[in-house]
Amino acid sequence: MQPIVRFNYGCDYTLKIPVSDDDGDVVRCRWSTKTPNDECGGVCETLSGSYLDESSCVLSYNATRSMGWYVVALQIEDFQESTDTTPFSSVSLQFMIFVDGLIAPCASRPVLPQNRYSN
Residues 44/52, Cβ–Cβ less than 8 Å = no
Residues 17/72, Cβ–Cβ less than 8 Å = no
**DSSP assignment letter at 108:** S
Strands 26-31 and 51-53: unpaired
Q: How far apart are CA 37 and CA 46, in angstroms?
A: 18
Residue 72 has pLDDT above 80, yes or no: yes
22-61: pLDDT as tens digits = 999 999 999 999 988 889 888 888 888 899 999 999 999 9
Kindly report the CATH class assigned to 4-100. mainly beta
pTM: 0.84
Is pLDDT larger for residue 18 or for residue 119? 18
Identify the burial level of 68 via C-beta atoms within 10 angstroms of its C-beta, where 0-12 means exposed, 13-18 middle and 19 or more buried. Answer: exposed
